[in-house]
Amino acid sequence: MAGRPREFDRDAALEAAMHLFWRKGFAAASMHDLCEAMGVSSPSLYAAFGSKEELYLAAFAHYAATEGQAVWDRLADGATARAGVENLLMAAAETLPKSRIAPAGCMVALGAVSDEWPPSIARVVRKVRLDLLRSLHARLEAALADGELPAMTDIDALSRFYLSVFQGMAIQAKDGATPAELRSAAKAAMVAWPGEG
Amino acid sequence: MAGRPREFDRDAALEAAMHLFWRKGFAAASMHDLCEAMGVSSPSLYAAFGSKEELYLAAFAHYAATEGQAVWDRLADGATARAGVENLLMAAAETLPKSRIAPAGCMVALGAVSDEWPPSIARVVRKVRLDLLRSLHARLEAALADGELPAMTDIDALSRFYLSVFQGMAIQAKDGATPAELRSAAKAAMVAWPGEG
DNA sequence: CCAATTTTGTAACGATCGACACAGAATATG
DNA sequence: CATATTCTGTGTCGATCGTTACAAAATTGG
């Protein structure tokens, strides 16, 4: 087991690819752009990641495990499901708009919404989106069992509703909405919590 | 003023282009696909529409004037702003999922969300999205003036919130959500109407 | 019928894309 | 040092993209 050692940091390169994909999507981020952003020539890139599709999947997994997880973990914060959902939306309002270090939007919410994405990527992205719906659903179901929510609450509808608010916020962030504007929308959404008045 | 007459129906061809762009987005709908779907050879297409970008803009305008307008007009239906918003969301729940005649999603809500779109198109699409926000805002402002909404209601927040629900529903429709599922989410959103409970 | 004009289909253009062949350079092992 | 192995950069491959010459075909006006 020998060979010339790799001259670039694989994780740093993956992070750079993630940011470029995050900002430009899959198709618009050309291999030329990626090589430049990652500081790696294309044969090295292919040796390390296989193909552009596989590189995207690796970057997407990295995104889900870091940026995405950081926001979605807030759902578990707080004593009640209501607090968890509010924390989630507030964190989203803070994270979704463009900042000095991060592009606007969300790779999970906005990825593969048009059919111009490779099917293999679309399948993975949509699966993660459904996972978000499922974890929202699970949190609300627990709240129902705890008696936090009225017994006749429509959990399917409520989880789908709060997911739609999150996804809509992602689109508006892409259009330039500020954290304050998204917070106000999230605040308005929390009024729909069952038993509010 | 003479010349060989055009052999294809310009409006029918534009409608076909609209459906293809609606389903596949801008980049993934190649000129080859478009020519096939429109039943026109590419030089004829260029003579009639100018370029692929201009064709998209024409198809998008056609979409906004027909499919989009039909849904958004519901905002004016009903005696109250609340009824108008509910009608709008219910119409969206019916229209957004894939049907026998229409693709899933919405060209306005989901168009140009990634940066892989030509800037000229992104500018137009985002302007229309902002117009949606403005018309929602205007309807709620009128309701405020009529006393339908409490005097301290945050109109900016409320319009942005309902827009986000609509946009989120569009994403979920792309992921395969049914009209019934979207209706239930819309119903949950209406609970957030000020003074509910 | 003749000339002018516009559309049509075939075929091809240059540009760009993702992907890779190749040879040189850098390491580990014996 | 010699060999095997792996990485690196240059250059290029075939495919596909949007776009357009070109000539034949079809119409109107004189």
CB of A145 nearer than 7 A to strand D: no
Instruction: Give the pLDDT confidence score for residue B195 in this predicted structure.
Output: 83
Whether residue A184 contacts residue B160, with contact meaning beta carbons closer than 8 Å, is answered with: yes
* Protein-to-nucleotide distance from the CA of A53 to the C1' of C29, whole angstroms: 36
Domains of chain A with bracketed CATH: 57-190 (1.10.357.10)
pLDDT for B115 equals: 85
DSSP for residue B111: T
Return the axis-axis angle of helices A155-174 and A81-95, rounded to nearest 10°: 10
Burial of B46 (0-12, 13-18, 19+ CB in 10 A): middle
**Which bases of strand D sit closer than 7 A to a protein CB?**
4-11, 16-22, 25-29
The answer on pLDDT for B197 being more than 60 is no
**Could you give the CA distance from residue A111 to residue A93 in angstroms, rounded to a whole number?**
18
Q: Which of B183, B18, B169 is nearest to B96 (CA)?
A: B169
- In this predicted structure, what is the pLDDT of residue A176? 96
Burial A89-111 (b: 16+ CB within 10 A, else e): bbbbbebbbeeeeebbbbbbbbb
Among B186, B33, B27, which residue's Cα sits nearest to residue B95? B186
Query: Which two structure tokens, joined as six digits, stand for B92?
Result: 């969206």
The two tokens of residue B4 are: 């060989």
Instruction: Answer yes or no: do B116 and A28 touch at CB < 8 A.
Output: yes
Strand D close to A6 by CB, under 7 A:
yes
DSSP string, A56-119: HHHHHHHHIIIIIHHHHGGGG-SSSHHHHHHHHHHHHHHHSS--SSS-SS-HHHHTT-STTS-H
pLDDT greater than 70 at residue B196: no
| Cβ partners under 8 Å of residue A163, min gap 6 | A132, A133, A136, B168, B172, B185
Alpha-carbon B109 to chain mean position: 6
Q: Which pLDDT tens digit goes with each residue over B76-133?
A: 999 999 999 999 999 999 999 999 999 999 999 999 998 889 999 999 999 999 999 9
**CB-strand contact A2/D, under 7 Å:** yes
Query: How many Cβ pairs closer than 8 A exist between chain A and B?
Result: 159
Res. A123 pLDDT band, cuts 50 70 90: very high
CA distance A195 to A172: 28
The answer to whether the beta carbons of residues A28 and A3 sit under 8 Å apart is no
Two tokens at B82? 């609340």
pLDDT, one tens digit per residue, over A171-184 is: 999 999 999 999 99
The label of the residue with tokens 């970008």 reads B53
Counting residues of chain A whose pLDDT is more than 70, the rounded percentage is: 98
C1' nearest to CA of B6: which nucleotide?
A: C7
| Mean of pLDDT values over B123-146 | 97
CB burial string B32-42: b at 16+ within 10 A, e below: eebbebbebee
> Span A122-129, mean pLDDT?
97
d(CA A120, CA A133): 21
